[in-house]
Amino acid sequence: MRLIAFTSKAALLLMTLAGSPRLDAAECATLPNPVYVTGSTAAKPLLIELSKYLASQPSPVTIVYLGQGSCTGVGAILNGTLIQGSGTTALSTWDATGTEKKCDVTTPVAADVGISDVFASTCFTLPGGLPGNVVDFWGPVQSMTFVVPMGSPEVSISAEAAYCVFGFGNDSGVAPWTDETVIFKRDTSSGTQRMISAAIGVPAEKWKGAATTGSSDLLQKLTLASPREKTIGILAADVAQDNRTVLKVLAYQHTKQSCGYFPDRDATSNEKANIRDGHYAIWGPLHLFSRVDNSGYPLKSSAGDVIGYLAGSKSAPGQLDLVFLEAQRHVVPQCAMRVKRAQELGPMLPFEPVGSCGCYYEKVANGATKCTPCQRQVDCPASAPVCSYGYCERN
């Protein structure tokens, strides 16, 4: 089973690094129920999984994706920036097996969903908030990480150290991270960089280091860089976790925190315990921006369905288990969270979601949970009286 998991991850890495072959590219508009999604490159693995499933339904929906960075995705909805691409810039779709295919958008179209790792206000100055015809729907929670190549002796980093490394580059004064050619950053449109900026206090436009064009590019450069001990970069946790064979996620010690934590309980588990309970600081919901009608529903109904599935507000068709899917993609459904926040890296508040799925999430993410299994409420103890997703939860 481990071998299968490893093989599939290795295959995903190879696909990610190599890019997908350009097959016979159709016009995207001719595909069944196309939903145009643009923005975060870190969200791509989750979209692939959802695309596979939706493509296999009797009434298939085709997610047509253009990865451009989170803030570009926000801008596509806020500013109505049209998207297009063909040939080498063709957009991506996935069939029911998860095989990536390309399609052309020769006549520019409006994006249906702008997908972002960060709040709109992290990308743009919005003194009056979002326009009335745009809604920020919250999807699962994801986290951003500092990563080093396998072979680096480093195991943790503090907010203060990251400030020096990414704010001063060659002059960081934090050995061994003193060589800008192997300190890898993203760009100002990147949600990964923007969210980490909010955590460490280095504005996205002031980062030092070698630029990369996306998560895949950063991953490739990081893993090939030399010397390894001087190399560091940033990745969304889902991308980092898919590549644990070639890189290490550093434990992160936030300002005023006395110890560094991984997103997960330890370096090898998958349950995102430290995101869910607030020990790991760099996290936020995936944002799904869409223009809406007067009732607050996305203008294109199939886009509304996609958003609903990702936000957990709409039951997916057939047997799609979204909690399972999100656990596989290393993001956290809202129902598994114990903390919440309303702004980028803003103060955390206790969160008790109705219909908690924390225990089930642990079970599918790690393969085991210490929670009490249940079929009915009466199976549960007073300390966790609610039977939800097959396990006794506090609420």
Partner 1 sequence: MPSRMNSARRIACIVGLQLAALLPHSGCSLILDSDATQCGSDGDCVHFPRTQCDLEHRVCVPTPMPPQDGGAATEVAAPDALVSCQAASGCFQCTPTSDLEFQGACSDATCIPFDNKRLTNINLDGTLKDLP
Kindly state whether residue 273 participates in binding partner 1, applying the rule CB under 8 A.
Answer: yes
Rank residues 276 and 287 by Cβ distance to partner 1 and give the closer one: 276
What residues between 334 and 363 interact with partner 1 by CB under 8 A? 339, 347-350
Task: Report d(CA 13, CA 216) in Å as an integer.
Answer: 9
Q: What's the min distance (Å) between Cβ of 289 and partner 1?
A: 27
Task: Report d(CA 349, CA 39) in Å as an integer.
Answer: 28
Choose which of 185, 248, 279, 363 interacts with partner 1 (CB under 8 A). Answer: 279
Kindly state whether residue 277 participates in binding partner 1, applying the rule CB under 8 A.
Answer: yes
Q: What's the min distance (Å) between Cβ of 215 and partner 1?
A: 24
| Dihedral sign (CA 190, 191, 197, 203) | positive
The DSSP code sequence of 296-353 is S-BSSHHHHHHHHHHHTSSPPSTT--HHHHHHHTT-B-GGG-SEE-SSTT---EE---
Task: Report d(CA 331, CA 389) in Å as an integer.
Answer: 18
Choose which of 254, 287, 291, 329 interacts with partner 1 (CB under 8 A). Answer: 254
Kindly state whether residue 251 participates in binding partner 1, applying the rule CB under 8 A.
Answer: yes
x/- mask, partner 1, residues 106-145, rule CB under 8 A, reads ----------------------------------------
Kindly state whether residue 52 participates in binding partner 1, applying the rule CB under 8 A.
Answer: no
Angle of helix 215-224 relative to helix 2-18, nearest 10 degrees, comes to: 100
What residues between 148 and 167 interact with partner 1 by CB under 8 A? 155-158, 160-161, 163-164, 167
Kindly state whether residue 281 participates in binding partner 1, applying the rule CB under 8 A.
Answer: yes
* Residue 240, token pair as written in the block: 């980092």
Burial class (CB in 10 A: 0-12, 13-18, 19+), 258: exposed
Tokens 């691409």 — which residue? 85
Choose which of 87, 132, 203, 296 interacts with partner 1 (CB under 8 A). Answer: 203
Please give the C-alpha separations between residue 198 and each of 48, 124, 166, 202, 285, in angstroms, as whole numbers. Answer: 28, 14, 13, 7, 14
List interacting residues with partner 1 (CB under 8 A). 155-158, 160-161, 163-164, 167-168, 171-175, 202-203, 206, 251, 253-254, 256-262, 265-267, 273-274, 277-279, 281, 339, 347-350
